[in-house]
Amino acid sequence: MVEDLGYDAVDINLGCPAKKVVKCGGSGLLRDLPLLERIFRAVRTAVKIPLTIKLRAGWDEKSIVAVDVAKMAESLGVEAVAVHPRTRVQGYSGAADWSIIAAVKQAVKIPVIGNGDINRPEDAERMFRETGCDAVMIGRAAATNPWIFRQMQEFAETGRYAIPTEGDRFRLLIDYYGQICAANLPDGVGKMKQFACWFTHSVGNGSELRRIVHTARTPGEILSSVERFFEGRAAALAGPSPVGAGRSEDPGHGPSQHLGYEATLGT
Ligand SMILES: Cc1cc2nc3c(=O)[nH]c(=O)nc-3n(C[C@H](O)[C@H](O)[C@H](O)COP(=O)(O)O)c2cc1C
């Protein structure tokens, strides 16, 4: 069915830790490898498009199964594996154990995508180096610092990267909120609040901005209160830098030509 709808690939997600999901799927399946084997076989037989999986390390620290699952998946025709090396019990806390990514990479020939705790381009570079993975996957940093993808490319090419200014952050926030308002989504306010929570930590007085967003009741109210918040900070918007373009300066870090390796994103 998925294939008939024109999708390019099927990914079986063995990573989701949500309570309602693990009862019948997500990382809950890491507790039942025979069932997982049947699922891999059935899906592989059903689709010709690429089949990939994303898994966690295991259910808990006493049952780390990532290598076993990756090997089984490879033997049944799965074409790539993404590894988020936290257990389900860990959720999103604690450190991701990158040695598990390295172990999976050693164990299979299919491409291995490493995931977990990549907050800055330097982290991605270190993950490649330490694990030998073929690609990296960005998680929470995509929401706190959506510039990370361009920064990684810039870092790979030049060894340095630009930090978004407060103005860049404001424009991105307003642009996103504008799109939510225009789309008239039923859960627009919820989406705006969620994004504000992730995205405003590097903004000066971000806690006040989050408070403003959380007390507003409609998307329009949120949009205008965010605009008002930034009006008082107009000085930070001076300069020609459009959203995400060009090398910018971060008032908290000094001139961009000195940023390079010591740049921090505060995520
Ligand atoms: C709010 C939220 C939603 C997520 N949704 C998904 C999802 O739909 N599918 C998925 O494979 N992973 C999902 N993840 C997990 C991330 O992709 C990633 O594996 C995890 O956050 C670890 O990477 P990080 O340490 O870089 O954040 C989600 C994570 C968060 C925080």
In the listed set 83, 117, 139, which residue is the last one of a domain according to the structure? Answer: 139
- Structure-model confidence comparison of residues 40 and 176, the more confident one: 40
In a shared domain, residues 151 and 135? no
Instruction: Tell me whether residue 33 is in a domain.
Output: yes
Range of the domain at 130: 10-139
The pLDDT value given to residue 250: 34
Sheet holding 80-87, edge to edge: 10-14, 51-58, 80-87, 112-115, 135-137
Query: Residues 84-104: pLDDT tens digits?
Result: 999 999 999 999 999 999 999
DSSP-assigned beta bridge partners for residue 112: 81
Asked if residue 174 and residue 75 are part of one domain, the reply reads no
Total number of residues shown for the chain: 267
Provide the domain count of the chain. Answer: 2
Question: Ligand 1: which atom is nearest the Cα of residue 118?
Answer: 26
Residues annotated catalytic, as ranges: 16
What distance in angstroms lies between residue 207's CA and the mean position of ligand 1's atoms?
24
Please tell me if the CB atom of residue 116 comes closer than 6 angstroms to any atom of ligand 1: yes
> What local confidence, expressed as pLDDT, does residue 106 receive?
98
Residue 264 has pLDDT above 60, yes or no: no
**Residue 173 is assigned to a structural domain of this protein:** yes
Whole-number Å distance, alpha carbon 92 to ligand 1 midpoint, is 8
- Does residue 235 lie in a domain region? yes
Measured in whole angstroms, the distance separating CA 87 from the mean position of its chain's CA atoms is 17
- What DSSP character marks residue 63? -
Do residues 51 and 172 share a domain?
Answer: no
Q: What is the CATH number of the domain that holds 67?
A: 3.20.20.70
Are residue 41 and residue 100 in the same domain, yes or no?
yes
Sign of torsion, CA 22 26 30 35? positive
Last residue of a domain, one of 107, 122, 139: 139
Residues 19 and 131 both lie in one domain:
yes
Kindly state whether residue 107 falls inside one of the protein's structural domains: yes
Supply the pLDDT for residue 259: 30
Report yes or no on 3 lying in a domain: no
* Pair of tokens at residue 143: 């929401």
**First CA to last CA across the chain, in angstroms?**
39
Indicate if the pLDDT at residue 27 is higher than 70: yes
Residue-wise over 86-97: b if at least 16 C-beta within 10 A, else e? bbbbbeeeeebb
- Look at residue 4 and tell me if it is in a domain: no
Q: Would you give the distance in Å from CA 35 to the centre of its chain?
A: 29
Work out the average pLDDT over 19-40: 91
* 1 found inside a domain: no
Residue 169 covered by a domain: yes
Whether 200 and 158 share a structural domain: yes
3-class secondary structure, 178:
helix
102, 223: one domain: no
Among the candidates 80, 107, 139, a domain finishes at: 139
Claim to verify: residue 101 and residue 180 sit in the same structural domain: no
Q: Supply the pTM of this predicted model.
A: 0.83
Alpha carbon of 89 to ligand 1 centroid (Å): 15
Q: Is 82 in the pocket of ligand 1 (CB under 6 A)?
A: no
Task: Name the more confident of 139 and 24.
Answer: 139
Give the tens place of pLDDT for each residue, 209-257. Answer: 888 888 888 888 888 888 888 887 765 555 544 443 333 333 333 333 2
